[in-house]
A and B are shown apart, each in its own frame.
Chain A
Amino acid sequence: MTRRTGAVLAAVVVLAFGATAAADPKTIETATATPTATPSATATPSPSASPSTDPDGPDDPDTPAEPTDPTDPDGPAKPEYPGNTKGKVTLDQSTDLVNQVIRVSWRGFTPSSDAFLSDSTTHVVRVYQCRGQRPETVADCYGSGAFTYPDKPKGGGVLPDGPTNAVTALTASNGRGYADIEVRTIAESASLACDAVDDCSIVVIPNDGDPTRPTLAGQLATQAYLDSDWAWANRIVAPIGFAATAATCALEDADFRITGSPQAKRLVERWQPGLCTSKADLDVDYTSLGEPLARSSFQTNGTDVALTTRPEDTAPSRAFDYAPVGISGIAVAYRVDDADTGKPITGIKLTPRLVAKLLTTSYSMNAACGPGVKDCNKATDGNPQDIFQDPEFLRLNGEERSWPSMAWPTVVSGDNDLTYELTRWLAADPEAAAFLKGAKAPGGMTVNRNFKGAEFPTSAFVSRDPDKRFVHGFIPVFGLSDVARYLVTNRDNSENYVKDQYGNYVKTGPYAIGNRGLFAVVSTSDAQALRFSSARLRNAAGKYVAPTDASMTAMLKHLKTNTDGVTQLPDYTAKDPKAYPLTHVQYAEVPTNGVEAAKASKIAAFLEHAAGPGQKAGIKPGTRPVGYVPLTAAMRAQTKKAAKNVLAQKGTIPEPPGAAAPDAPAEPDAPEPVTLPAIQAGAPAPMGGRLSADAAALLGWLLPALLGTGIGAVLLGPILYAAGRFGLAVPALPSPRLPHVSPRGAGRRRKP
């Protein structure tokens, strides 16, 4: 979205809500503390209304991602809502929301008493996501102590959808403040049930204490009383609307299925509702799945279209084309708070070797050896406890800072191209590669001994350390978007390594804001939509670069074409000071032979969208979300060409890939000949049985034949009997003994 359209959008939103407020005085009444409130929305949209494209906004990892900083510079002007007597609230996006983080800013509030949040801080502000456009009580707001949900009207305060997304924040001395809140759709929070039909709201509650007891303000205006009636009376309600999702499409009768590329999830899910409501009327079913699986599924006709980052590495069995559909990147996102001030730290720089240390669980964590420690983890003996005590990290990011302690890094489980490319990047860096092979890093740190002999690149993160603290600490998460969910809810995926009284390993709860040391490997789309801070990674030119639209676009000049002539992978050794190395193109593998014309035209229409309107930035369905950069002209041409080939359906099966992709050593995920458990004593059948054609035919008809025989016999039997008894049309067979038998039988029967 351009700045101009953003401004227009913001203006429209302002007018819309202004009109709502004016038309419905009740809203204003309930939403304001005193009758002197001015119901007009007076903000004038500034040129930089949409932060979603603001290069200094979410693209910049230095942007504070956390709400505890009350010194927010006057943010871009956005829609405002009439609030209590003096306050006004602005949302940076209030329509077409998906699961994302939005910024809620306010001005005209009473300044908080401290610069850092504590239990005694007064005039704190709480930001809730609530059910309905006009929540009646705080019980409609997720995370409040009174929260109730429809199926369980009693017993408030329960959090059925995981940790709360409510944010507690402060107001600076100039009366301004802001909070970043994760808004949840019905998919993340069934109890709020916000979707395209059911609107929800953001409620900002400043606690200025009980006006009838002003002397007690020192206690009553603290965060302990944020759910109180006086605070609720001061609330400012901002309705929010959610974008249509794929749920609006007729997916049970989808035109075709797409599988793959978790990195393209937000892009495809943005396109789905746009495509099924457009003239093209395309109902596209999409399953996010690790690319190696998606590719083999495509080759065995398990899916109509596969999305992948890396090309096929085995001989294809279908005729297909690669069509670029999107460009995203891998981000090492973090939420790290200064241990002294509790404020989020931004601008963290990482070298490939530091990333390697994180991903190989090479820090000793809570199993460090030392004098008097009995059962420590020998595999990490001598290594720093965590990254914040690693001299290499401290030299880069400031030794004088007060760092927190680190939680377990969160990564995706299973086979993924993301994992492969990230570890390929590590292996391409001489320092990191040497470290992974066992060389000592400066300061004497070595890779976790359990990673001895581990091959890099690898397509799956694995917890290799059998130490109980590590087994229950570093647990890769299924689903790339779930990795982001862990970070946005301030959690890692670890659990207590000692069973509780019920025999369960209790999951680690969310870390308190101000006390976090969380890292996660996510896609840039999740990182930007959820406003994570993303680490500045050292590129081959030795510069530390954050993933921004500019730095990712810069990397597009350094893509190497693979042997198939179409797909491209980044050259991690390219020395471009501006380029963010972990930038990847997502390709659709589309069938070019053997698909019926109707389906082919639908797939082609999808590709036309991908090459055209789908690359336009925006917030409406069908557009390109944040975290993706637009395809280059050459890529669009390739996609359009693939669309033509899909329509023609005259493709041939491509040659098997010759040389491996750029600097890809032995492919650990290259399928090998199937080695199934052999049967020693039985037939040489690998899985179950193999039937000869004759046996199969025989077996196939066994039960139907039995049924036929049974029915035939039951019918024929009585007929035969009747024939024998009454001589119906059947010539009598010689039966010499007949006269003797029958009377004898009858006689015997009468005896008793």
Chain B
Amino acid sequence: MTAVEELPVAETPKETPKETAAPTPPPASTNLPLRAAGVALGLLGVFVLGFLAYLAVLSPLQHDRDQITRYADFRKELAEGTAPVAPPIAAGKSVAILEIPRLGLREVVVEGTTSADLTHGPGHRRDTPLPGQPGISVILGRAGAYGGPFGDLGKLHTGDVITVITGQGLASYTVSGTGPSILPPVPGSSTLVLVTADSGVAPRGEALVTARLTSQPVAGNSAEAPRIHRSEVGLSGDLGALVPLLLWAEALLLAVGLTTFSYLRWSKWPTYVISSPVLLAVLWNIYESLARLLPNTL
């Protein structure tokens, strides 16, 4: 909610000079470019802090809400037997429920690992088999933003249990290695690799947890693995978000222009009432696009 409170603040410095200008005759030292620079800088600061506040406060809410609806939907899919188990699976679809008892973690895993996919929860890398199937399954998750579901991955020890429920049933894994290096897989077995950034704030590299299947592997699929894009590997941003960012920035420009116009030509409070929700909505979308540019496992 910080962002909401900060927005009016952003407007204030812009308008106050005009308000105070009339009663007090401008002193000789008044310097408009300096004042404009001050206002611009202040607004920029509020915009940046608002973005950080979005990452810290609003994005987890967005993630939690996504998880609740996805869990409800995926339960139904599991019960009906319609949960997807083989490619092609559309990116963004729920494919599994990941549980790590030691961390008290239960997340619905989505298909795809772009920055946008990972805003919903951990993502299954599309070119790897689904958990439980023979081979190496890779699941990426965020360490900090959007709830940072994998932020506590470093607390796992060898021997901890990870369970994954897919449309093919429950697969249980035992953690076999943690840290930046990967243990060699045993041929013919099934391995699960959880990938995240090594820090939710200042990532330098990746943190991996390798786990081996202890239950029976389920049937794999012979379909050719889909190719994945550069933006779907760990720690990569999604440059595709630049287009919506540009469009939303234009929308912001338009909204600010209209707000200013209405403020000057109409009246103060009605303008606030009408423009705040619009500006907030536009800002939210800008922040979301910006977040997609950040590394996906952040």
Seen from chain A, the residues whose Cβ lies within 8 Å of a Cβ on chain B are 257, 259, 287-289, 292-294, 296-297, 300-303, 413-415, 459-460, 462-463, 471, 475-476, 478, 503, 668-669, 671-677, 679-683, 685, 687-689, 691, 696-697, 699-704, 706-707, 709-727, 730, 732-733, 735, 737-739, 741-743, 745-750, 752
A725-B35 in contact (CB<8A): yes
Q: Point out the residues of chain A lying under 8 angstroms from B206, CB to CB.
A: 687-689
* Residue with the highest number of chain A CB atoms closer than 10 Å, among B40, B44, B213: B44
Q: With A and B bound together, what is the CA distance between A746 and B18 in angstroms?
A: 6
Interface residue from A302, A413, A680 paired with B216 (Cβ < 8 Å)? A413
Q: With A and B bound together, what is the CA distance between A707 and B201 in angstroms?
A: 11
B157-A296 in contact (CB<8A): no
Q: With A and B bound together, what is the CA distance between A232 and B26 in angstroms?
A: 102
Q: Point out the residues of chain A lying under 8 angstroms from B21, CB to CB.
A: 742-743, 745-746
B41-A716 in contact (CB<8A): yes
Q: With A and B bound together, what is the CA distance between A643 and B254 in angstroms?
A: 75
B205-A750 in contact (CB<8A): no
Extra contacts, 5 of them, besides A687-B195, A745-B264 (Cβ < 8 A), are A462-B216, A700-B204, A703-B201, A720-B38, A724-B33
B174 at the interface (CB under 8 A from A): yes
Q: Point out the residues of chain A lying under 8 angstroms from B127, CB to CB.
A: 677, 679-680
* Residue with the highest number of chain A CB atoms closer than 10 Å, among B225, B230, B233, B297: B233
* B298 CB → nearest A CB, Å: 8
A414-B33 in contact (CB<8A): no
Interface residue from A296, A699, A712 paired with B295 (Cβ < 8 Å)? A699
B136-A414 in contact (CB<8A): no
Q: A674-B185, A696-B205, A703-B201 are in contact. Are A727 and B29 (CB under 8 A)?
A: yes
B230-A681 in contact (CB<8A): yes
Q: A710-B52, A724-B33, A752-B266 are in contact. Are A717 and B186 (CB under 8 A)?
A: no
B18-A687 in contact (CB<8A): no
Interface residue from A415, A673, A675, A706 paired with B212 (Cβ < 8 Å)? A415
A703-B202 in contact (CB<8A): yes
Q: With A and B bound together, what is the CA distance between A459 and B188 in angstroms?
A: 12
Please tell me which stretch of B66-74, B176-184, B243-251 contacts chain A, meaning at least 4 of its Cβ atoms lie within 8 angstroms of it. B176-184
Q: With A and B bound together, what is the CA distance between A301 and B157 in angstroms?
A: 11
Q: A672-B187, A688-B206, A710-B45 are in contact. Are A302 and B178 (CB under 8 A)?
A: yes
* A434 CB → nearest B CB, Å: 24
Interface residue from A414, A713, A747 paired with B41 (Cβ < 8 Å)? A713
* A337 CB → nearest B CB, Å: 29
A676-B31 in contact (CB<8A): no
A297-B140 in contact (CB<8A): no
A682-B35 in contact (CB<8A): no
B37-A724 in contact (CB<8A): yes
B101 at the interface (CB under 8 A from A): no
B45-A724 in contact (CB<8A): no
B215-A413 in contact (CB<8A): yes
Q: With A and B bound together, what is the CA distance between A478 and B170 in angstroms?
A: 13
A689-B13 in contact (CB<8A): no
B27 at the interface (CB under 8 A from A): yes
Q: Point out the residues of chain A lying under 8 angstroms from B277, CB to CB.
A: none
A503-B79 in contact (CB<8A): yes
* B125 CB → nearest A CB, Å: 8
* A495 CB → nearest B CB, Å: 12
* B191 CB → nearest A CB, Å: 10
Interface string of B23-55 (1 = CB under 8 A from A): 000111111111111111111111111011001
B39 — nearest CB in chain A belongs to which residue? A721
Q: Point out the residues of chain A lying under 8 angstroms from B228, CB to CB.
A: 679-682
Number of residues of chain B lying within 8 A (CB) of chain A: 94
B128 at the interface (CB under 8 A from A): yes
* Residue with the highest number of chain A CB atoms closer than 10 Å, among B29, B157, B188, B199: B29
* A279 CB → nearest B CB, Å: 28
Q: With A and B bound together, what is the CA distance between A601 and B212 in angstroms?
A: 33
* B41 CB → nearest A CB, Å: 4
* B20 CB → nearest A CB, Å: 8
B117 at the interface (CB under 8 A from A): no
Q: With A and B bound together, what is the CA distance between A696 and B197 in angstroms?
A: 11
B234-A685 in contact (CB<8A): yes
Q: Point out the residues of chain B lying under 8 angstroms from A303, CB to CB.
A: 158
9 tightest A-B CB contacts, nearest first:
A688-B234, A727-B29, A717-B42, A713-B45, A721-B38, A720-B38, A724-B34, A714-B45, A724-B35
Q: A413-B214, A671-B183, A682-B230 are in contact. Are A712 and B45 (CB under 8 A)?
A: yes
Q: Point out the residues of chain B lying under 8 angstroms from A703, CB to CB.
A: 52, 55, 201-202, 298
Q: Point out the residues of chain A lying under 8 angstroms from B214, CB to CB.
A: 413-414, 478
Q: Point out the residues of chain B lying under 8 angstroms from A287, CB to CB.
A: 157-159
B34-A723 in contact (CB<8A): yes
Seen from chain B, the residues whose Cβ lies within 8 Å of a Cβ on chain A are 13, 17-19, 21-22, 26-49, 51-52, 55, 79, 81, 125, 127-128, 135-136, 138, 140, 157-159, 172, 174, 176-179, 181-189, 193, 195, 199, 201-206, 208, 212-216, 225, 227-236, 264-267, 294-295, 297-298
A292 — nearest CB in chain B belongs to which residue? B186
B184-A674 in contact (CB<8A): yes
Q: Point out the residues of chain A lying under 8 angstroms from B212, CB to CB.
A: 293, 414-415
Q: Point out the residues of chain A lying under 8 angstroms from B181, CB to CB.
A: 300
A720-B41 in contact (CB<8A): yes
* A275 CB → nearest B CB, Å: 20
Interface residue from A476, A691, A716 paired with B235 (Cβ < 8 Å)? A691
A742 — nearest CB in chain B belongs to which residue? B21
A742-B30 in contact (CB<8A): yes
Q: With A and B bound together, what is the CA distance between A485 and B19 in angstroms?
A: 81
B49 — nearest CB in chain A belongs to which residue? A710
Q: Point out the residues of chain B lying under 8 angstroms from A745, CB to CB.
A: 17-18, 21, 264
Q: Point out the residues of chain B lying under 8 angstroms from A681, CB to CB.
A: 227-230
Q: Point out the residues of chain B lying under 8 angstroms from A259, CB to CB.
A: 158-159
Q: With A and B bound together, what is the CA distance between A433 and B140 in angstroms?
A: 44
Q: A503-B79, A679-B228, A750-B22 are in contact. Are A691 and B13 (CB under 8 A)?
A: no
Q: With A and B bound together, what is the CA distance between A345 and B220 in angstroms?
A: 42
* B60 CB → nearest A CB, Å: 15
Q: With A and B bound together, what is the CA distance between A697 and B204 in angstroms?
A: 6
A476-B216 in contact (CB<8A): yes
A458 — nearest CB in chain B belongs to which residue? B188
Interface residue from B41, B79, B215 paired with A478 (Cβ < 8 Å)? B215
* A685 CB → nearest B CB, Å: 5
A721-B182 in contact (CB<8A): no
A730-B31 in contact (CB<8A): yes
- In the complex, 21 of the A-B residue pairs with CB atoms within 8 angstroms, ordered by the A residue number, are A293-B212, A303-B158, A414-B212, A414-B213, A415-B189, A478-B214, A674-B185, A688-B195, A688-B208, A688-B297, A703-B202, A703-B298, A718-B13, A718-B42, A720-B38, A723-B31, A726-B29, A733-B33, A735-B30, A742-B17, A742-B26
Q: Point out the residues of chain B lying under 8 angstroms from A722, CB to CB.
A: 38
Q: Point out the residues of chain A lying under 8 angstroms from B79, CB to CB.
A: 503
Q: With A and B bound together, what is the CA distance between A739 and B45 in angstroms?
A: 29
Q: Point out the residues of chain A lying under 8 angstroms from B188, CB to CB.
A: 668
* A45 CB → nearest B CB, Å: 43
A299 — nearest CB in chain B belongs to which residue? B183
Q: Point out the residues of chain A lying under 8 angstroms from B183, CB to CB.
A: 296-297, 300, 671
Q: A685-B234, A691-B205, A737-B32 are in contact. Are A721 and B52 (CB under 8 A)?
A: no
Interface residue from A682, A687, A726 paired with B182 (Cβ < 8 Å)? A687
* B122 CB → nearest A CB, Å: 12
B234-A687 in contact (CB<8A): yes
Q: Point out the residues of chain B lying under 8 angstroms from A288, CB to CB.
A: 159
Q: Point out the residues of chain B lying under 8 angstroms from A691, CB to CB.
A: 204-205, 235
Q: Point out the residues of chain B lying under 8 angstroms from A748, CB to CB.
A: 264-265
* Residue with the highest number of chain B CB atoms closer than 10 Å, among A503, A673, A716, A742: A742
B202-A676 in contact (CB<8A): no
Q: A300-B179, A415-B186 are in contact. Are A682 and B215 (CB under 8 A)?
A: no
* Residue with the highest number of chain A CB atoms closer than 10 Å, among B32, B158, B212: B158
Q: A687-B234, A701-B202, A730-B31 are in contact. Are A293 and B48 (CB under 8 A)?
A: no
